[in-house]
Amino acid sequence: MAQQTLLSPAELAYLHSSLSLSPPIRPDGRTSKQFRPLTAETGILPGTNGSARVCLADGTEAIVGVKAEIEKTADPLGDDGERYREYVKSASGVGGGDADEDRREARGEWLEMTVEIPGLRDDDAGTVFLAELLREALLADGELARKLWINRRFHWRLYLDILLISPPLSYPLPLLSLTTHLALLATRLPRLKSEGDEDPMFDDDWEAAPFLYPRQGAAAGSRPSITLLVVAVGDSILFDPSKEELAVADSALAVSLCEVRRERGQGSMEVDSGRELRLVAMRTIDPPSRLTPPGVPSTANLAASGTADVPLQQKQQQTADEAPQEGVWKAPLGGTPFAVLDSIIQAVLEKGGVADEVLDGLEGVDLT
């Protein structure tokens, strides 16, 4: 998926060693937790329920459009009239909305997601993996599917179409995730006028349509999850890696978080302290560094010393077998050490940490 960077083994080794320093020295001079600036706008397509466009500083750009359709909920128990009437009776007997809440049975399949990347087939393994990864993270908190529930017979089917406009310069996961987050925040569904299990009727006034994720009021609750890309190089952990940094990463992780709003006490004047972060998913991603060719130490480099004519094949065999040498590039092998995983989770979840910063940034985007 991520395009191969054309860096020589010597360049890779240099990058790797400067990134493993403490504090790491990144090619663009950022600190390890600093994000690149991005521009974002929402509500760009009036024909959708919600849309967003995000441009990252490296020039990559994505557009997400959300469309909703009404669908009849397939009854897992079959069309059993008796049973259904019983349900209704018991529900009306209790008479409270709470019983109804409990009965809300949401399914993850109500959210459908596609990713389109120019120049790649739509059934490309990498693209499908990317879409599934994002979908999984969104559904992990179970909140989104519940919001799509209308009544026992009908539900919304949400189509999320993600377009990567620019060529895939670096691994597009964080870009797509942030764009999806914004698009979902901007999504509005028509206001329901009917009650109970009637055929749904909607208010045709778009101005009255409530947001899927309301910002204020009693319904203000969770937020759609975001997925961040984190790489580990040596002992240092880098957020928002650039293409070059990804090319030397020992391991890359997609960390999905969601934000849960604590219920604010009545009359509380606190505005932005109710955020609680929850880790919902984590996946390792194969970094492109694994496919890089190994470097040849100058002691073994016969082209430099010019002594004997050992075939190239044999020479590379040697270097692959040898223990890693300082300053000589060798593609990373193996998984992510537990200590690294642990420190990544710490860094992501800490109060006022990276995720807080990103969410604060996204909060600032105007919803239109």
Partner 1 sequence: MPLDTSTYSLALLRIDGRRWNDLRRLHAQIHTQEAADGSSYLEMGHTKVMCVVTGPAEPQAGQQKRGTAGGGGAGALGGGQKDAASIVVNVVVAGFSSVDRKRRGRNDRRIQEMEITIQKALAANLHTHLFPHSTITVSLHVLSQDGSLLAALINATTLALIDAGIPMTDYITACTAGSTSSYAAGDDSADPLLDLNTQEEQELPFLTVATLGDSDKVAALVCESRVQVSRLEGMLVVGVDGCRQVRRLLDGIVRAKGSKMIKEGVVQRSDLMAVSLEE
The interface mask with partner 1, positions 60-79, x = CB under 8 A, is xx-x-xxx-x----------
| Shortest reach from residue 60's CB to partner 1, in Å | 6
Q: 10 Å Cβ neighbour count for 82?
A: 7
Q: Which residues contact 176 (CB under 8 A, 6 or more apart)?
A: 62, 64, 115, 130, 134, 162, 164
In the bound state with partner 1, the residue whose beta carbon lies nearer, of 187 and 236, is 187
5 contacts partner 1 (rule: CB under 8 A): no
* CA nearest neighbour of 64 among 77, 74, 73, 51: 51
The interface mask with partner 1, positions 107-146, x = CB under 8 A, is -------x-x-xx-xx------------------------
Nearest 5 degrees, angle CA 258-CA 261-CA 267?
170
Binding residue for partner 1 (CB under 8 A) from 142, 167, 221, 293? 167
| Shortest reach from residue 57's CB to partner 1, in Å | 9
In the chain, the amino acid numbered 352 is: G
* CA nearest neighbour of 336 among 287, 269, 275, 266: 287
Binding residue for partner 1 (CB under 8 A) from 73, 166, 316, 336? 166
Binding residue for partner 1 (CB under 8 A) from 11, 58, 235, 357? 58
In the bound state with partner 1, the residue whose beta carbon lies nearer, of 51 and 236, is 51
Binding residue for partner 1 (CB under 8 A) from 45, 220, 260, 300? 45
No. of helices (H) and no. of strands (E), the chain: 11, 9
Burial bucket for residue 122 (CB in 10 Å: 0-12, 13-18, 19+): exposed
Number of residues located near partner 1, criterion CB under 8 A: 27
Residue 91 token pair? 């529900």
Q: Which residues bind partner 1 (CB under 8 A)?
A: 45, 47-48, 51, 55, 58-61, 63, 65-67, 69, 114, 116, 118-119, 121-122, 159, 161, 163, 165-167, 169
